[in-house]
Amino acid sequence: MARLIIVCGATGAGKTTYSLSICEDIGAVKFSIDPWMQTLFAKDMVELDFSWMMERVERCYQQIWEVSEQILALGGNVVLDLGFTTKALRDIFVNHAKALKINAEVHYIEAASETRKQRVAKRNMEKDPKVYSFEVTDMMFDFMEGKFEVPDDMELEHGCKVSL
């Protein structure tokens, strides 16, 4: 049976590393928002404009879902590493999956703030192409810190909490 895994966690939690691991374990196709945004739009961005960026993120979400839906319909597995900062965004993809009669699995990656900051600094320095798309500055980290909504037990009904 096809599986849809939604990976969420705050900045630097280890979402992409976890996503790569789970894809290898279950034979899934992974979609991460960062390389999509970097490849498609980074060269066009002349200033840090949140609304400009979010409009393009939305376009990527739509295209990623369209391809994911095809994979799932064929019985394949999909792992979505799209940030999923808010419950509302996770619900959109959970409901997409429900329409396909699939129980989306929310996997919440949990890590302490200081650990996450250290991971981001290391990722920025090493620039490993498997997990690095762009530099996350301290300002970006701090901005996103208050935005993440931790999933509750109901959201994790078909998923899990992972401490990294």
Domain ranges of the chain: 4-163
- Reported confidence tier of residue 138, pLDDT bands at 50, 70, 90: low
Identify the CATH number of the domain defined by range 4-163: 3.40.50.300
The string of pLDDT tens digits covering residues 11-52 is 878 888 899 999 999 999 999 988 888 888 888 877 767 788
What is the per-residue pLDDT for 120? 76
- Reported confidence tier of residue 132, pLDDT bands at 50, 70, 90: low
Entry pTM: 0.85
List the one residue out of 107, 135, 115, 127 whose CA is nearest residue 26.
107
The string of pLDDT tens digits covering residues 79-110 is 999 989 999 999 999 999 999 999 999 999 99
Residues in the chain: 164
The string of pLDDT tens digits covering residues 42-93 is 888 777 677 888 899 999 999 999 999 999 999 999 999 998 999 999 999 9
